Chain A
Amino acid sequence: DAGITQSPRHKVTETGTPVTLRCHQTENHRYMYWYRQDPGHGLRLIHYSYGVKDTDKGEVSDGYSVSRSKTEDFLLTLESATSSQTSVYFCATALVGEEQYFGPGTRLTVT
């Protein structure tokens, strides 16, 4: 598997607080993705990046922002966390036109 780490792995936060999740890769993959996974919904794409400073929205982007200032890091920010954002968040990376490799996930609970 590609060298993908996510931090933190678990986080509990209160409604209204900002939260940043980090995805770090060592494979020099151009594409990076953030998904969330909730019961009954499978994985849903939040945002993705196709290069440094190049990002775009996925199907569930409301309430989330991302940044990619260098190839290896892709940050997902919840500006003001809500209970509906309680979920498991997965980061993935890919070369152009190739399969995606997934990180171990971050379990976020918003109370």
Chain B
Amino acid sequence: DAKTTQPPSMDCAEGRAANLPCNHSTISGNEYVYWYRQIHSQGPQYIIHGLKNNETNEMASLIITEDRKSSTLILPHATLRDTAVYYCIVRVGTGNQFYFGTGTSLTVIP
């Protein structure tokens, strides 16, 4: 079973920040948090990942709580093209195994 919990759906107004939460209360000290998104029926697309420090790239920011039991993906200025299912994943094992879960369906509203 997936080791993360996400809300099934969220809405966000276009141009506003989208904040997507994720709980991973059983995460181990050496496990990374990854975020992917999937637009329509395309293959999932990598967004960002982190261990314990906050991370930022050209797509998003990742905020991980100090106890590492939860994280938030932030899309700073959501656009209609950000409408997708967003997956929060904890990387486990030695083979880069990912357990995806069912993710959060984000709808950006004009």
**Residues of chain A whose beta carbon lies under 8 Å from any beta carbon of chain B:** 1, 4, 31, 33, 35, 40-45, 48, 50, 56, 58-59, 88, 90, 92, 94, 96-105
Contacts and interface: CB of A to CB of B under 8 A. Distances in A.
A28 B82 CA distance: 30
Interface residues of B, number: 20
B24 to A, nearest CB: 15
B43 A104 contact: yes
B104 to A, nearest CB: 11
Contacts of A94: 96
Nearest to A48: B95
Contacts of A44: 100
A103 B43 contact: yes
A41 B99 contact: no
Contacts of B101: 42
B26 interface: no
A19 to B, nearest CB: 20
Contacts of A96: 96
Interface centre among B42, B87, B98, B99 (most CB of A within 10 A): B98
Given A102-B44, A105-B41, A56 B95 contact: yes
Contacts of A4: 43
A37 B87 CA distance: 13
A26 to B, nearest CB: 16
Nearest to A31: B96
Contacts of B44: 43, 90, 92, 100, 102
Contact of A42 (B49, B95, B103): B103
Given A45-B97, A58-B97, A102-B43, 20 more contacts: A31-B95, A31-B96, A35-B100, A42-B87, A42-B102, A44-B100, A48-B95, A48-B96, A50-B94, A59-B99, A88-B41, A92-B43, A92-B44, A97-B96, A99-B46, A100-B44, A100-B96, A101-B46, A103-B43, A105-B42
